[in-house]
Structure 1
Amino acid sequence: MNTDEPGGRIHSSDPFAVPDSEKSAVRRLRGRFAAPVTVWTTPGPGGLTVSSTVVADGNPGRILGLIDEESDFWDAAEQSGRFAVVTLTSADRQLADRFAGLMPSPGGLFATGDWQDTPYGPVPAGAATWAGCRLESNRECGWALLVEGVIESINVSDLATPLVHYRGRYTGLA
């Protein structure tokens, strides 16, 4: 890249991605597991893209996720005791990047697009599937916090092709 050229350069891949040869074996293994892409939000300023999410059926149902302890999301979720988990679709790639901190968000995470306020946190207007959760517990787990929530509210409708994270990239199901 010529540094004398004005402006920035758009890359076809993530210029900050760690090459496979430098990743731990565990991280490479995790990359081979296809995972749903979700956005977790809270009442307040917090929101985060999370692909390490598990839903456990039961009475009550529970949701678990690996959350960055230093994120604005975690600070807000810990204070409010509530959060929303939104399943993203193939049309939501920019939203996923924005909440992951990979795309600029002038005015804040919720400044772009239409949002519906809920007791659990903002949800994109027209979101097909989302859950409202009460924070149950958390504990250290590897590089993150394993956060457990009790599902108190569920909104499920037909889902367009879900957004999936696989080997460091977003993809849809065929």
Structure 2
Amino acid sequence: MSEYKDVSPQRMREVMGSFCSGVTVVATQTEDGPVGFTCQSFTSLSLEPALITFNPSRTSTSWPRIREVGRFCVNILGGKHQELSGGFARSGADKFAGVAHEPTPLGNLRLVGALAWIDCTLHAEYDGGDHTIVVGQVQAMEAAQHIDPLLFYRGRYAALAAAIELAAS
């Protein structure tokens, strides 16, 4: 029975990894250049008003820079974007080197070829333990057709068909 009480960070990551999620890159343009990071803790929050939420780590060096701007674009990645996701998850490198991007209506950064993009202004922030709960108010958005999502499941990336096969086994 004691194994059910194990809520250690390692066990939490293992169990929560059973929830398949999409993968996003949150990005904007600052006075010092483009900034962005990979984030899988993203979801729709409200339809009226149109709100989304995501949860950057408190150790993120990118989120404080985006917060200062007060706006951002959530780019939902497609199944062929594993390398792009990995690049935006690293610290210290030029994450935008060789990455095609365009300005959104708010002046944020939309990654060319993303499955969808959601242009937001910062609505609110809340304490979330070792993460920050960010609420964004949606100002503009668009989705591509016929692109499968990039998924994260049990600690690894998966395309839609692969995730279905993995879950069936």
TM-score (norm 1): 0.78
Contact 1:54 1:63 in 2 (8 A): yes
The correspondence of residues 88-167 of structure 1 with structure 2, limited to 5 A, is 88-101=77-90, 105=93, 108-118=94-104, 119-167=106-154
Are the aligned partners of 1:77 and 1:135 in contact in 2 as well (CA < 8 Å)? no
Q: Which runs of 5+ in 1 are unaligned?
A: 1-21
Comparing both structures, which one devotes a greater share of its residues to strand?
A: 2
Tell me by how many angstroms 1:25 deviates: 2.7
Q: Could you say which residue in structure 2 is the equivalent of 1:65? A: 54
Matching residue's letter, 1:37: V
2:75 aligns with one of 60, 67, 86: 86
Compared CA separation, residues 24 and 114, structure 1 to 2 (3 A): closer
Question: What is the aligned partner in structure 1 of residue 17 from structure 2?
Answer: 31
Deviation at 1:73, TM superposition (A): 2.4
| 2:110 alignment partner AA | V
Aligned length: 150
Offset at 1:140? Answer: 1.7
Any unmatched runs of 5+ in structure 2? 1-7, 162-169
Give me the CA root mean square deviation: 1.9
| 8 Å Cα contact 2:88-2:95 kept in structure 1 | yes
Relative distance call for 1:85 and 1:166 in structure 2 (3 A) is same
Query: Identity across aligned pairs (percent)?
Result: 29
For 2:166, the equivalent position in structure 1 comes to none
Greater helix percent: which structure?
Answer: 2
What CA deviation, in whole Å up to 9, does each residue of 1:80-124 have, x standing for no partner? 11000011011111100000118x84xx11121211122252112
Task: Please state how far the C-alpha of 1:23 moved relative to its aligned partner.
Answer: 4.8
The amino acid across from 1:36 in the alignment is: G
Q: 2:115·2:148 contact (CA, 8 Å) conserved in 1?
A: no
The correspondence for 1:75, drawn from 64, 76, 92, is: 64
SS of the residue corresponding to residue 130 of structure 1 reads strand
